[in-house]
Amino acid sequence: MAKVIGVRFKNAGKLYYFDPGQLWPTAGDAVIVETARGVEYGEVITGVREVDDDKIIAPLKTVMRIATAQDKLHAAENEEKQDSAFLLCQKKIEEHGLEMKLVGVQYTFDNAKILFYFTANGRIDFRALVKDLASTFKSRIELRQIGVRDEAKLLGGLGPCGRPICCGSFLGDFQPVSIKMAKEQNISLNPTKISGVCGRLMCCLKFEQDQYESIRKSMPKIGKDVITPDGRGTVTSLDILKELVLVRVSRGDSYEYKQYPAADVQRLTPPQPQKQEVIKEPVRQPAPPAEAAPEKPAQQVEKPREEPKASGKRPFFVPIKYDENGEPIIETDDDTAEIIDESISSVVDDDVIDIISSVDELELYQGDDDTI
């Protein structure tokens, strides 16, 4: 929390906070303060009070002094100079052929700077104009381009209601206004009726918007069925300010329109199906599996090697050559010859040897690939 005072530099300008320091100015006093534009002469709107730190733009500048009678006289002289500076600047604009409209002129309190406010449709190259004005006034020149709403605020005027426009009399900042506000307030969307002096939507549409929204929430919507003291009906229109509801009530084969206070009209809420409570059983989480003991590798038992058994059939065919006497001829060494001779004698039956003893049958036997 910080102690501040609220100072305004124009009739309906923005409120700025300053540190009062050792002084204690009250509302209505004139003070001399230092701003970003230079030394300014302003009026105290709110006296010394405490404000939250988040609403203050740090660092706060301290009030230089409370304005004296001489300071007030100097401020009045600056206002008189503004009229002559306005005419001179307007003449310079015509000489340079610039498409811009001069709106206002403002002197700083110490005459160190002169501000010129203008409007234009686009960007303006006014560098030559600034040099010409600086050589004429022997002071620092600053030109600022503003919008149509700021122009109406500086010039002032009367609104469609017949009173001075809000922005020129008491509004400090401009609030955003949308066409939706005019629709919710049942105002005609004719541009001539909802536009202000500046050509934009009137600022006063924002003033009652919050009240319209709060009342509309407590009233039934258009097209909904309601219950009235005369029976069931349908809402056709709403009067937000008077809080009245126009309802179409059925009378046999015809309808009748009646207006009721919003408090006497009850909304029809369709019965909502009751939700059956489902009792959810607690899900049992499975127990973590026990760690299995590592399996021992199976011991491989070497089986004894079995000797091949002799069978009555020959497992494979080995071509054998015979000599003239019918004896087998095998081209091997002596040891192998004895083994083959023994295997042949164990595999081949005696009857088979008798069958293949003849040469003719031996040729047939050797040409056949089937085993015996």
Crossing angle of helices 69-96 and 127-137, in 10° steps, is: 140
Rounded alpha-carbon distances, angstroms, from residue 79 to 114, 134, 342: 12, 19, 146
pLDDT tens digits for range 183-231: 888 888 888 889 988 889 999 899 889 888 888 888 888 888 898 888 8
CA 16 to each of CA 42, 48, 169: distance values in angstroms, whole numbers, following the listed order: 10, 13, 17
CA distance 331 to 337: 8
Confidence band, pLDDT 50/70/90 cuts, at residue 142: very high
Length of the chain: 372
The token duo for 119 is 């409007």
DSSP alpha helix (H) spans, 97-224: 127-137, 148-155, 166-169, 179-184, 191-194, 209-217
For a pLDDT cut of 70, what percent of the chain falls above it? Answer: 72
- As a whole number of angstroms, the distance between CA 139 and CA 141 comes to 6
Flag whether the pTM goes above 0.75.
no
Say if residues 44 and 28 touch (Cβ distance below 8 Å): yes
Average pLDDT over residues 94-114: 91
Handedness of CA 187, 191, 197, 202 (dihedral sign): positive
Structure tokens at 310: 């002799």
Give the separation between CA 148 and CA 203, rounded to whole angstroms.
13
CA–CA separation, 23 vs 48, rounded Å?
Answer: 10
For 329, left (φ over 0), alpha (ψ -120 to 50), or beta? beta
Confidence of residue 360 (pLDDT cuts 50, 70, 90): very low
Cα three-residue angle 343-345-349, rounded to 5 degrees = 120
Please report the pLDDT score of residue 324 as a whole number.
66
At 98 the pLDDT is 92
Q: Where are the beta strands (DSSP E) in the chain?
A: 2-8, 16-18, 30-35, 38-51, 65-66, 101-107, 113-119, 140-145, 225-228, 231-239, 244-251, 254-261, 266-267, 321-322, 328-329
Mean local confidence (pLDDT), 40-65: 84
Confidence (pLDDT) at 322: 64
Arithmetic mean of pLDDT, 170-195: 87
Beta-carbon contacts of 352 under 8 Å, excluding residues fewer than 6 positions away, are: 372
25 falls in which pLDDT band (50, 70, 90)?
A: confident
